[in-house]
Amino acid sequence: MNNDDELKARIKEDENDLLFYLRQYHELSSRSRNMKAVLDKEIKRLEEQIKRNSQLLK
């Protein structure tokens, strides 16, 4: 597997994780303020990681 394939696989995995968090956001964030903060931070981290890895593919 070359670098581009690895990056694409990593981006796909991060996108799947991000979609999961976005789909479950309302249910999970309503459990507690701390849970919402963790979700917000994880969503932001995944978005930044996807952007960074996408730029490396160009």
Number of compact structural domains in the chain: 1
pLDDT, one tens digit per residue, over 1-58 is 578 999 999 999 999 999 999 999 999 999 999 999 999 999 999 999 999 999 998 7
How much is the pTM? 0.88
- Calpha distance 47→58 (Å, rounded): 17
Domain that holds residue 46: 3-57
